[in-house]
């Protein structure tokens, strides 16, 4: 049903993770969590756009008997997305499999202060 669902085959339940394993990838837990959070936002945005696109197919301006059937389909689509794993779990899984491309910029070095004459 969903391109995202096919891409991810992980369980929607939350498992305990070792923080050291997460930090080991970048060398810093905060950088690792930043990468995971940014990817999670991308996945959430993609899921929302996909869901809105599917639900917009059912948008009508008139009420009729067919709308009851369409509402059942809308409900089924919404339930499907509700059962999907949270974007944070998906991004964490990608991160741990090393499927995310990221760059960590080095901080700019300041020039040493000059002594006044």
Domain residue limits, the chain: 16-96
Over residues 12-57, the pLDDT tens digits come to: 567 788 999 999 999 999 999 999 999 999 999 999 999 888 888 7
Q: Which of 108, 95, 107, 79 is nearest to 37 (CA)?
A: 95
Do 37 and 28 touch, CB atoms closer than 8 A? Answer: no
pTM of the model: 0.69
CA distance 35 to 104: 9
Determine the pLDDT at residue 106.
77
Comparing 23 with 3, the larger pLDDT belongs to 23
Provide the token pair at 46. Answer: 């993609």
Over residues 47-66, the pLDDT tens digits come to: 999 988 888 877 665 555 55
Determine the pLDDT at residue 4.
55
CA distance 35 to 37: 6
Give the other-Cβ count within 10 Å of 32's Cβ: 21
């Amino acid at each position: 049903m969903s391109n995202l669902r096919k891409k991810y085959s992980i369980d929607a339940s939350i498992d305990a993770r070792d923080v050291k394993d997460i930090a080991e990838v970048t060398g810093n837990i905060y950088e690792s969590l930043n990468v995971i959070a940014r990817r999670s936002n991308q996945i959430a945005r993609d899921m929302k756009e996909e869901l809105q696109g599917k639900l917009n197919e059912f948008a009508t301006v008139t009420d009729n008997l067919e709308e009851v059937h369409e509402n059942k389909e809308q409900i089924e689509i919404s339930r499907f997305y509700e059962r999907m794993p949270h974007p944070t779990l998906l991004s964490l899984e990608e991160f741990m499999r090393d499927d995310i491309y990221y760059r960590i910029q080095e901080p700019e070095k300041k020039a040493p202060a000059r002594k006044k004459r």
